[in-house]
Chain A
Amino acid sequence: MIYFILFLEFFKVGLFALGGGLAALPFLQNLIIKYGWLTTDQLLNMIAISESTPGAIGINTATFIGFNTAGIAGGIIATLGLTAPSIIIITIIAHYFQKFNQHPLVKSAFTGIRPAVAGLIASAAFSLAAGNIFYFENLSNDFSHFFNYKALLLLIIIFIAIRKLKKHPIFYIVFAALIGIIFKF
């Protein structure tokens, strides 16, 4: 029963993939090899698409593989399978978090966690910038090729706009998409 297999296999991925969409990658690779659902090339294509469309990468990839394997219902079932462990685990944690979040030990722990998570978020922005704006591999031979000037300029413009205009984040995302298409980023 393909739906059952899809649900169960993606449930396992959701249960063991710690650290988001890209951490799920090796699990997905094993999966498609085990069942022969796709070639590795097809999987890499799907991941590339999943990265550049809205939504979490892992969810997009699950929908993709599910759809390719068993149509619309397959896509939905694979995605629900991937999501189910999160819902179960987080609901349990959330229940206890609400009960104990005023406990001194929990409160103190989170005074340390919050700045660390801010650092983690900043680091995500940094690695995104490193991939799109700075070319570290060019640093040693030619400094003029270190920056992607077009991208750097866009970053500065959008950042100033965010600070001055205070519009909804969606506004800047749509604006950037249009700029990207017009100026061929």
Chain B
Amino acid sequence: MKNLSKIFITFFKIGSFTFGGGYAMLPIIKKELVDNLNWITEEDILNYYAIGQSTPGIIAVNTATMTGYSLKGIKGALAATLGFISPSLIIITFIAAFFKKFQQLAVLQNAFAAIQIAVVALIIDIVIKMWQKSDKSHLSMLIFLAAFFSLSFLNISPVFVILSSAFLGIIIQYWSGNLKSEFKTYQKGDKDK
């Protein structure tokens, strides 16, 4: 049941265990929404994250809003986003109120350094799983590698990478003739309605 409180609670959980940038939320989103609840697919996650990354605002919040909307419209978007930001509000307010010298708590820094390594392992795992579920074509592999290298070593903006890969996707589908046949079935579907 996709009720609002379930959406809120799920994203509260995701917000509570996202350490770092927006990508750090992906393994938990996948576990909760794809594996456990079956609400969305792995492909959906990549689509929503792509949109979240290339629109203004905090990527994690954008991804939460986008996912929430796909589950239950505007109300779903609000429930997901409020669920995601609530842990931050609670934890940071608590820290700001009680720990004036938080940065000296070495214990938390030690914990965080190791958590980052866990996040690396989780991301490697999720990228492998996404590859296994993809079309596994040479072209997809090429786009993956090109995106990886241009972001890791050439400092190219992610928005530019996403836009050019969108363009590339259209050209490849046009070239292979898929685009034409897709258009035919799409227009036929329109007439059937």
Would you call A54 and B118 a contact (CB within 8 A)? no
Residues of A close to B53: CB separation below 8 A:
19-20, 117, 120
A163 part of interface (Cβ distance < 8 Å): yes
What's the Cα separation between A120 and B21 when bound, in Å? 12
A32 part of interface (Cβ distance < 8 Å): no
What's the Cα separation between A115 and B107 when bound, in Å? 38
Would you call B169 and A113 a contact (CB within 8 A)? yes
How many A-B pairs have beta carbons closer than 8 Å: the answer is: 371
> Interface SS of chain A: helix, strand, loop or mixed?
helix
Nearest-CB distance from A182 to chain B (Å)?
9
Nearest-CB distance from A152 to chain B (Å)?
9
Q: Could you say which of A110, A129, A172 contacts B166, with CB atoms under 8 Å apart?
A: A110
Would you call B56 and A155 a contact (CB within 8 A)? no
A185 part of interface (Cβ distance < 8 Å): yes
Within 8 A of B (CB), among A86-107: 86-87, 89-91, 93-95, 97-98, 101-105, 107
- A→B interface (CB under 8 Å): 14-22, 24, 45, 48-60, 63-64, 67-68, 72, 75-76, 79, 82-83, 85-87, 89-91, 93-95, 97-98, 101-105, 107-129, 131-133, 151, 154-155, 158-159, 162-163, 168-170, 172-173, 175-181, 183-185
Nearest-CB distance from B111 to chain A (Å)?
4
Would you call A87 and B81 a contact (CB within 8 A)? yes
Q: Could you say which of A53, A125, A172 contacts B91, with CB atoms under 8 Å apart?
A: A53
- B→A interface (CB under 8 Å): 13, 15-23, 26-28, 31, 43, 46-47, 49-53, 55-62, 65-66, 69-70, 74, 77-78, 81, 84-85, 87-89, 91-93, 95-97, 102-103, 107-127, 130-131, 134-135, 140-141, 143-148, 151-152, 157-159, 161-162, 165-170, 172-174, 178-179, 182-183, 186, 189
Would you call B168 and A112 a contact (CB within 8 A)? yes
Known contacts A112-B165, A116-B161, A122-B123: A172-B178 contact under CB 8 Å = no
